[in-house]
Amino acid sequence: MDKNTINVGLIGFGTIGSGVVAIFNENIDLIQKKVGKEVNLKKVVDLDITTPRGVEIAPEKLSTEINDILEDPEIDIVIELMGGYEPARTFILKALENGKHVVSANKALLAKHWEELNSAAQENGVRICFEASVGGGIPVLQPLNESLAANHMESIYGIINGTANYILTKMSREGLEFKEVLQEAQEKGYAEQDPTFDIEGHDTAQKLIILTIMGFGEYVKQENFHVEGITRITPEDIQFASEELGYVIKLLGIARKVDSELEVRVHPTLIPQDHLLASVNDVFNGVYIVGDAVGPVMLYGQGAGMMPTASAVLGDCLDIINHPQKNIPYGPPESQVKNIKDLDNVISKYYIRLTALDQPGVLYRISKILRNYNISLESVTQKKRSHGQAVPIFMVTHEALEKNIKQAMEEIDSLNVVQEKSMFIRVLED
Amino acid sequence: MDKNTINVGLIGFGTIGSGVVAIFNENIDLIQKKVGKEVNLKKVVDLDITTPRGVEIAPEKLSTEINDILEDPEIDIVIELMGGYEPARTFILKALENGKHVVSANKALLAKHWEELNSAAQENGVRICFEASVGGGIPVLQPLNESLAANHMESIYGIINGTANYILTKMSREGLEFKEVLQEAQEKGYAEQDPTFDIEGHDTAQKLIILTIMGFGEYVKQENFHVEGITRITPEDIQFASEELGYVIKLLGIARKVDSELEVRVHPTLIPQDHLLASVNDVFNGVYIVGDAVGPVMLYGQGAGMMPTASAVLGDCLDIINHPQKNIPYGPPESQVKNIKDLDNVISKYYIRLTALDQPGVLYRISKILRNYNISLESVTQKKRSHGQAVPIFMVTHEALEKNIKQAMEEIDSLNVVQEKSMFIRVLED
């Protein structure tokens, strides 16, 4: 940018927005000296500009009028941190049309309207940057898109939802039930009052969509892949996986190329305890990337929060100021992916938990069904004995086809000796 | 760059150089489409151009004449992978003078001649990039210098030498002596025949110098900080740290701001088992960065090797082609560091191993010395009893001053009941 002063407008004065203001107050000299220009937060727009945010800001910089940013020709970069689909989408499109660069952390919007937003930026010769949308402050998208650009990506595994990871970590450490931990997380503010978005995997799915664009050049809509949350995981699953099998259970977003097909899915996954992803605990995020040249790389840090996310937003601002004409396309230039693999055709090992009556012939009936679907077992464990009562049976399969597992489990669940809907969890074998 | 074809010259056709050629053969389309230009490996110079490298290259591209690169006006980017101080330094300076950008993985040269090389690049209006010099293929320097630029860095902890980490991991897993593991590592090619550079911490120190420039804007020469290797670590140290204290031992490069002073040091360190760095095993590297906004971030991957390092080299080429005029200074623009802290003034917890005669009054004499130096103990353990014989005593101190520890250990070692030179290892408390 030729100007000596870069003016920034901020839409959304919530938690992250306050973090951005805090960085402007305290650390903007770092950015200014790196870009050799003055970087000025000119206007902050929010519907509520009266509630104190705990950060200093000159009153004349606050406004409730969106056009104070969108129609101000002096504003070069618009930071959108209001979240949600509308009016965020309309505001971003307007900003791009008006020749302003956009920095956004809005993963929901990006995941849903990627093509429209990306095209609008290109058509208007400006940039849209969104490092903060995945993994909070962790540098993830820049490395995927640039530093690692010489790689064909093989797989991306992400622990990218702090709430779900906090709940699973706490269940694992303290042997607590999902509901107990969720309630505590809500009390502590680690989980929303309506936690559906996090615990059912939707947030992970949105971030995975963005990672899949960057790593594989493929834009996959959320309705086209399997998204499964963590609500059915029990302390027994976690304990058995850990003590008997040497695995931990994590909610994973997976994008993986197998031959020329891409697997995209979100679900709880058993991860070997000595895999680095198994050590990503509490609210932390980890994105584990495997490239054909670089091999495995993991990027780790706080995936959310006021200051970490604001750090990524300002990193994007620096990049835009230094390279307003950056013409690096997002994702690899030519996708080598032929199609998105149907989950039914995915091959994996599976952990299975059944609740069946402890009586003669039960295992025979179950194993017969498994055999019919060509599923062989690595291990079977029945922990308690209680004749005629329901007891849990844990099984681990060798590699099997998802379709077969699903059908076998349906048949098994329909047996009169099986008391509860069975549970199966896919196993990461990398 | 305005040209439609970017010509690259490669100096050094060794392991990494062959990796670069392999990427040019197989993955260069990825880079070309990202930059919208043809990227051509025009010339490869090495003294030996006859030994087969296992990668395809047209014979006319090979040369033993350095000026085929340095004096070819068509070559835009010079990749230096020959290593060592001279003639690498002369070649790089000549390339910069001739207006060529330089990509280098030569940490020894960069650490020793940073000011000269950085100035030469600036004076000639070209760039010198060296992502591959620290952490092989892991994106470390770009994140530190750009993505995380809105942060004042608080600390950088690096496991950045694969050989040392392999040896410590293997000692830990198998309870073997240092020398046994070193010999095996040499046989497997994980350690050099002369392993001094890796096991005495010099390689870690050179990389730490580069990290300190990027994270703190401070250039510290190797002779000005403490560098200690892993040769004195015993299986007993590792076992005791693990089983009794819950720590693992890693060789760490540390750069840490305490008030306005910077601590820079390389030494074995006790790391809590639940710290993510403790899970960085085998030949893998991990760089753990704490910024004031982003909090902790860890970047992990293969810190060496043909293809990972070549991946970083090509990432730098992409960055140069897209931004030949990038004017982001390395490191934060204004150092907030007043001075480099003398190791004597560093405060830490310490693990101590003594070998003393098992006889009355020994512990009294030792503890009296510790008290005189104001060192208080968190724990003392004598594992074996063997009256009148030498037995190991393990101690962990509360926070103490390095100077006091050193002097106390000297006095203790001079006691006639102490049989071997004692060992102390600093403890990471973050």
- Candidate from A208-222, B17-31, B332-346 with smallest mean pLDDT: B332-346
Predicted confidence at residue B296, as pLDDT, reads 98
The tens digit of pLDDT for each residue in A360-401 reads 888 899 999 999 999 999 999 987 777 778 889 999 999 999
Considering only residues 307 to 326 of chain B, which have any Cβ-Cβ distance to chain A shorter than 8 Å? 307-308, 310-312, 314-315, 318-319, 322-323, 326
Q: pLDDT confidence of A207, banded at 50, 70, 90? A: very high
Residue A182 has pLDDT above 90, yes or no: yes
The predicted complex's ipTM stands at 0.94
A36 touches chain B (CB under 8 A): yes
The tens digit of pLDDT for each residue in A146-173 reads 999 999 999 999 999 999 999 999 999 9
The mean per-residue pLDDT over the stretch A123-129 comes to 96
Q: Answer yes or no: do A318 and B131 touch at CB < 8 A.
A: no
A158 touches chain B (CB under 8 A): no
Q: pLDDT confidence of A359, banded at 50, 70, 90? A: confident
Burial B265-283 (b: 16+ CB within 10 A, else e): bbbbbbbeeebbbbbbbeb
Terminal C-alpha separation, chain A: 45
User: Among B27, B151, B319, whose Cβ lies nearest the Cβ of A152?
Assistant: B27
Which chain B residue lies closest to A314 (C-alpha atoms)? Answer: B150
A303 touches chain B (CB under 8 A): no
Q: Answer yes or no: do B329 and A291 touch at CB < 8 A.
A: no
Closest CA to A402 of A351, A352, A344: A344
The rounded percent of chain B whose pLDDT value lies above 90 is 87
- The answer to whether B262 and B277 have CB atoms below 8 angstroms apart is no
Beta strands in B29-126 (DSSP E): 38-45, 62-63, 75-80, 101-104
The rounded percent of chain A whose pLDDT value lies above 90 is 87
- Which of A147, A154, A318, A330 to mutate against chain B (most B CBs within 10 Å)? A147
What is the DSSP code (8-state) at residue B225? Answer: S
Q: Answer yes or no: do A298 and B297 touch at CB < 8 A.
A: no
Q: Answer yes or no: do B328 and A294 touch at CB < 8 A.
A: no
Residue B219's contacts (CB-CB under 8 Å, 6 or more residues apart) are B114, B115, B209, B212, B213
Backbone torsion region of residue B54, taken as left when φ is above 0, otherwise alpha when ψ lies between -120 and 50, otherwise beta: left
User: Among B30, B146, B305, whose Cβ lies nearest the Cβ of A150?
Assistant: B30
B207 is catalytic: yes
What is the distance between the alpha carbons of residues B352 and B337, in angstroms, rounded to a whole number?
A: 31
B146 touches chain A (CB under 8 A): yes
Active-site option among B207, B250, B257, B341: B207
Considering only residues 2 to 31 of chain A, which have any Cβ-Cβ distance to chain B shorter than 8 Å? 19, 23, 27, 29-31
The tens digit of pLDDT for each residue in B107-120 reads 999 999 999 999 99
> Which two three-digit tokens encode residue B257?
């701001």
Considering only residues 113 to 132 of chain B, which have any Cβ-Cβ distance to chain A shorter than 8 Å? 131
Phi, psi at residue B183, to the nearest 5°?
-60, -45
The mean per-residue pLDDT over the stretch B386-402 comes to 90
Q: pLDDT confidence of B315, banded at 50, 70, 90? A: very high
Distance from CA of B100 to the nearest CA of A (A): 21
- The answer to whether B80 and B102 have CB atoms below 8 angstroms apart is yes
Distance from CA of A369 to the nearest CA of B (A): 41
Predicted confidence at residue B328, as pLDDT, reads 73
Q: Answer yes or no: do A33 and B332 touch at CB < 8 A.
A: yes
> Which two three-digit tokens encode residue A380?
């079977």
Average pLDDT, chain A: 94
Residue type, B418: V
What is the distance between the alpha carbons of residues A118 and B384, in angstroms, rounded to a whole number?
A: 68
Degrees to nearest 5, angle at CA B291 with B288 and B297:
35
Closest CA to B343 of B406, B271, B252: B406
Residue A152 half-sphere exposure toward CB, CA atoms < 13 A: 16
The mean per-residue pLDDT over the stretch B127-131 comes to 97
What is the distance between the alpha carbons of residues A399 and A382, in angstroms, rounded to a whole number?
A: 21
Place of tokens 């790389």: A297
The mean per-residue pLDDT over the stretch B134-144 comes to 97
Chain B residues inside the 8 Å CB shell of A279? 274, 276, 279
Q: Answer yes or no: do A333 and B143 touch at CB < 8 A.
A: no
Q: pLDDT confidence of B430, banded at 50, 70, 90? A: low
Query: Looking at the DSSP assignment, which residues form a beta bridge with residue B264?
Result: B255
Closest CA to B79 of B127, B28, B146, B135: B127
Active-site option among A61, A207, A257, A341: A207
What is the distance between the alpha carbons of residues B151 and A26, in angstroms, rounded to a whole number?
A: 10
Q: pLDDT confidence of B335, banded at 50, 70, 90? A: low
Residue A406's contacts (CB-CB under 8 Å, 6 or more residues apart) are A344
> Which two three-digit tokens encode residue B190?
């994980």
* SS3 at position A343: helix
Distance from CA of B69 to the nearest CA of A (A): 23
Full set of structural domains in chain B with CATH? 5-137 (3.40.50.720), 142-302 (3.30.360.10), 344-427 (3.30.70.260)
Phi, psi at residue A158, to the nearest 5°?
-125, 125
The tens digit of pLDDT for each residue in A47-87 reads 999 999 999 999 999 999 999 999 999 999 999 999 999 99
Residue A326 has pLDDT above 90, yes or no: no
* SS3 at position B399: coil
Residues in chain A: 430
Q: Answer yes or no: do A149 and B31 touch at CB < 8 A.
A: yes
Chain B residues inside the 8 Å CB shell of A302? 294-296
Distance set, CA B299 to CA A138, A308, A332, B136 (Å): 9, 16, 22, 11
Residue A112 has pLDDT above 90, yes or no: yes
Considering only residues 246 to 285 of chain B, which have any Cβ-Cβ distance to chain A shorter than 8 Å? 274, 276, 279-281
The tens digit of pLDDT for each residue in A333-346 reads 666 677 888 999 99
What is the distance between the alpha carbons of residues B347 and B402, in angstroms, rounded to a whole number?
A: 6
Average pLDDT, chain B: 94
Q: pLDDT confidence of B331, banded at 50, 70, 90? A: confident
User: Among B142, B148, B332, whose Cβ lies nearest the Cβ of A311?
Assistant: B148
The tens digit of pLDDT for each residue in B65-78 reads 999 999 999 999 99
Residues in chain B: 430
Predicted confidence at residue A151, as pLDDT, reads 96
Q: Answer yes or no: do B327 and A322 touch at CB < 8 A.
A: yes
